[in-house]
């Protein structure tokens, strides 16, 4: 495995939270930062960083548990903790979208019965807004009524934004729907590896996909480290 952090962090010479070198060891072998007043275990840090690294690689919790010889329940709980922190980060990162925007809905999970598209049953409906050459915002909705979609548009977009929907309900400009379809493909490809997701956890998995898509051209591991380990949200 490639080096994911400087050895100085794991040797207790550099604070994992503030990067200060003003550290000392406690009697219980934990590290304490004089500047940050934070205590932590180097053993626990190494374990958490390994789990985070496998999460970054998009391995499943079961595969990670096997690779690291850690109980599956421990890994699954840690993965969900990461996803919840990512969701918090996405919500804080969200801003009023502006400019030329694309909106669309898609259907995830469940067994396909009856008609496709809007008539599909047992599926989770996800509404998305994509800022052209920017980031996507997603939300699970109960249905695709004009009232629900318009409320979400008002909450997440600035007045005067140019919006296009594939069904022309809110059309003001030429169609660029391929952009947001790129996100749907990105997300669904990753959802295929999961064999059933608890309904209560589905929003957190969705936010993980949103996060990975929005930051796909960045150093995702470093950002995950800040969000999930340092807690910078």
Whether residue 44 is found in the same domain as residue 77:
yes
Q: How far apart are CA 154 and CA 138, in angstroms?
A: 14
Residues 168, 108: one domain? yes
**Total tally of structural domains belonging to the chain:** 2
146 and 175 co-located in one domain = yes
pLDDT of residue 5: 61
Domain match, 166 and 196 both? yes
Predicted local confidence at residue 61, as pLDDT: 94
Residues 160 and 121 in one domain: yes
Instruction: Give pLDDT, residue 110.
Output: 63
Mean pLDDT of 166-191: 68
Higher-confidence residue: 161 or 169?
Answer: 161
Residues 177 and 125 in one domain: yes
């Amino acid at each position: 495995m490639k080096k994911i952090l400087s050895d100085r962090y794991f040797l207790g010479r550099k604070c994992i939270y503030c990067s200060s070198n003003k550290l000392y060891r406690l009697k219980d072998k934990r590290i304490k930062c004089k500047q940050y007043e934070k205590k932590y275990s180097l053993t626990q840090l190494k374990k958490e960083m390994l789990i985070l690294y496998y999460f970054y690689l998009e391995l499943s919790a079961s595969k990670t548990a096997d690779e690291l010889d850690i109980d599956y329940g421990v890994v699954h709980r840690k993965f969900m903790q990461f996803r919840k922190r990512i969701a918090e980060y996405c919500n804080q990162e969200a801003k009023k979208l502006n400019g030329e925007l694309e909106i669309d809905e898609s259907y995830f999970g469940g067994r396909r019965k009856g008609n496709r598209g809007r008539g599909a049953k047992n599926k989770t409906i996800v509404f998305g807004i994509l800022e052209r050459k920017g980031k996507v915002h997603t939300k699970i909705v109960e249905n695709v009524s004009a009232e629900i979609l318009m409320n979400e548009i008002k909450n997440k977009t600035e007045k005067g934004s140019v919006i296009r929907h594939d069904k022309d309900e809110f059309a003001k400009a030429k169609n660029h729907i391929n952009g947001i379809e790129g996100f749907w493909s990105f997300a669904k490809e990753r959802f295929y590896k999961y064999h059933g997701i608890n309904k209560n956890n589905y929003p957190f998995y969705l936010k993980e996909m949103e996060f990975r898509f929005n930051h796909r051209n960045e150093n995702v591991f470093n950002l995950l480290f800040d969000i999930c380990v340092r807690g910078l949200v």
